Amino acid sequence: MRARQRLVTGRDRGAATPLVVGAIAASVLLAMLLLGVGAALADASRLAHTADGAALAAADTLLGWLPGEPCTAAERVAAAHGAQVSACDVGEVSVVVTVRRSILSMSVERSARAGAADRR
């Protein structure tokens, strides 16, 4: 009986606690990393939609459906979504707009084209 008590009350008592704490900490870190990556991907997708909206606003202005300048309209839409226009190329019947925003301390750009169909 005494030998069995020694095994339970010996130096190994509570040895699993640091392992469990380490496993929980690793799981929490992994979850935080995955959430951060997921949020960055969602922000990049929203930035692409912002570029689409800015290009559509610029094209509406270029084609005369809205008053004003195409690039000014694109800047208003981009600013409303927390981005800034880094390039605005106005063609005869279409506009290419590039917007930029900082995501996870990196500058990310997305471009979109809108306007009348090219007839060749």
Write out the two tokens for 116: 């009348």
Kindly give, in sequence order, each residue whose CB lies less than 8 Å from that of residue 106, ignoring residues fewer than 6 positions away.
none
CA distance 17 to 29: 18
CA distance 81 to 112: 15
Write out the two tokens for 64: 């005369």
pLDDT digits (tens, 9 = 90+) for 16-55: 888 899 999 999 999 999 999 998 899 999 999 999 999 9
CA distance 80 to 77: 5
Write out the two tokens for 30: 């992994």
pTM value is: 0.73
Write out the two tokens for 115: 């306007």
pLDDT digits (tens, 9 = 90+) for 5-21: 555 555 666 778 888 99
| CA 68 distance to own-chain centroid | 30
